[in-house]
Structure 1
Amino acid sequence: DLHMERLAGRANDKVISDYRWMVEEYRIQLFAQPMKTRMAVSPKRLSKIWDKMS
């Protein structure tokens, strides 16, 4: 997954901590659907956040 690749080696980077949290929320939405997440996250939203940080 593109978003996981972006996080590779940068798990503790404070600059991308919000992005990392959103990726984790997205993973929950995909793989643990009965669980509720704090926010709705989509690949499009993740890409927009990444573009703003770059």
Structure 2
Amino acid sequence: MVRPPLTALSRDIPAYGGHAARTPMALVTEGSAAGFEDSAARLVPRGSTAPPR
């Protein structure tokens, strides 16, 4: 789609969705919900990143 391909950060989107689905259910059934600790983002280097000098 884009030239050069852009470097990006990759996140665990399914984990966000799972947490979003569990949180309201936990609030209704237990009265509180556990916190969510985000995993570290992963750098995905692509064509927009130059090699080190």
With the shorter chain as reference, the TM-score category is 0.3 to 0.5
Bigger fraction of residues in strand? 2
Larger C-alpha radius of gyration, 1 or 2? 2
Bigger fraction of residues in helix? 1
TM-score when normalising by structure 1: 0.35
Higher relative contact order (CA 8 A, sep 6+): 2
TM-score when normalising by structure 2: 0.36
